[in-house]
Structure 1
Amino acid sequence: MSGHSVLQLPVPALEEWVRVRHAHYDGGFVSADPRFGHAHVTALGPFDPDPSAEVLATVSSIAAATVPVRTRLADVARFPNGIIHLVPDPDAALRDLTARLVAAFPAWPPYDGRFGDDVQPHLTLDAASGDVDLASTVALLGDVVPVVVLLDRLQLAWWESGACRVLHEWELGTAVP
């Protein structure tokens, strides 16, 4: 299997910018699915590529119990692996969502466990290279940030060149108190 699934929170305010960056690198990762969140904060990925009805019901329950997350995206940072990203502030609710998903699905550790237990919520913008660094990314962003966003949907998205799409989607905070 060449693709993978991700539980992600789409960020419509940055969708066009991130979509253009995907097109710049590999048009195969530009989805024809209008719901697909190219711009997103990963909640848990990779995730079960063929989830059962029980798994989907558990994700649905977690999404329903999660209050929509308001966060500010302004600071651009770089991970040691070169991924240039926006840092959500505050990020406690995002960390909590990931922790609850990991507790429910321990067979699917975030990023296959490559980054340990401290999974930092972020929105990927670019990857450092000879032509791309923090300064060039900030310049490309222009006045796109800072932006305050309300993350109110959780998507199970499939990422594969030529086949990116939303498999399932849930509104956050639909549980009746």
Structure 2
Amino acid sequence: MMEDNNSHGFHAGQSGLVVRVPEAEPAVRAWRERLDPSARAGVPAHVTVLFPFLDADRIDQDVHDTLGEVFGRHPSFEVRFERCGRFPGLLYLVPDPDTPFRDLTEAVVERWPDTPPYGGKYGDAVPHLTVAQDLDEAAVERAEADLLSRLPVGTRVSAVDLVVHDGTRWRLRASFALR
């Protein structure tokens, strides 16, 4: 999720909006701790709603209130992770359904159009739970086989979290309830 392409660096003040998936931790924790820079920087298993979001110095009470209103218009929902997917160099769990995540992302971008997903680098922001990055094909095969033996995982999504990097780790700044 939350890396830039310069050696997976993070910088103080970066923020993102994520849905934590604690139910996935037993299946993905070992892989993420070794192979996902965001895990090593304090981000739990999650599906990104929007990264990057606003710089922390732009997030005031009005932004908090507006995020609460935006997310409060969306119903909570059930999601399952039953299979893996791949992007070049990245292994992830596929959320089903993914439409509610897409709806959340679209709602935030509609309100803050200067915050396209992943800075506009990719055309379609595909909802996913990153497990591993920068793997060779053999490692991807091993990780995927292990993950498939641990799936499915299901959860109820009832909130979106605002996380901010403090220069060392990602920290929870606020949580916004879905209706």
* Overall identity of the aligned pairs, in %: 30
TM-superposed CA distance for 1:15, in Å, is 2.5
2:33 pairs with one of 20, 23, 42: 23
Secondary structure, aligned partner of 1:74: strand
Q: Flag structure 1 segments of 5+ consecutive residues without an equivalent.
A: 32-36
Aligned partner of 1:162 in structure 2 is: 168
Aligned partner of 2:20 in structure 1 is: 10
Contact 1:14–1:144, Cα closer than 8 Å, also in 2:
no
1:111 pairs with one of 107, 118, 123: 118
Aligned partner of 1:52 in structure 2 is: 60
Secondary structure, aligned partner of 1:107: coil
Once residues 164 and 63 of structure 1 are traced to their aligned partners in structure 2, the CA distance between those partners, rounded to angstroms, is: 21
1:48-89 CA-partner distances (Å, limit 9, x unpaired): 122121111111111211111211111201113x11111111
- Equivalent AA in structure 2 for residue 100 of structure 1: A
Mapped pair 1:132 → 2:139? yes
- Equivalent AA in structure 2 for residue 114 of structure 1: K
TM-superposed CA distance for 1:18, in Å, is 3.8
Aligned partner of 1:76 in structure 2 is: 84
Aligned partner of 1:34 in structure 2 is: none
Q: 1:16 to 1:161 in 2, by over 3 A?
A: farther
Q: Flag structure 2 segments of 5+ consecutive residues without an equivalent.
A: 1-9
Normalised by the length of structure 1, the TM-score is 0.82
Once residues 147 and 14 of structure 1 are traced to their aligned partners in structure 2, the CA distance between those partners, rounded to angstroms, is: 6
Once residues 22 and 38 of structure 1 are traced to their aligned partners in structure 2, the CA distance between those partners, rounded to angstroms, is: 9
TM-superposed CA distance for 1:141, in Å, is 1.9
TM-superposed CA distance for 1:159, in Å, is 4.1
Normalised by the length of structure 2, the TM-score is 0.81
Number of residues of Structure 1 aligned to a counterpart in Structure 2: 165
Q: 1:84 to 1:65 in 2, by over 3 A?
A: same
Contact 2:39–2:45, Cα closer than 8 Å, also in 1:
no
From the two aligned structures, give the one with the greater helix fraction.
Answer: 2
Aligned partner of 1:145 in structure 2 is: 151
1:99-128 CA-partner distances (Å, limit 9, x unpaired): 111101111110000002x21111101124
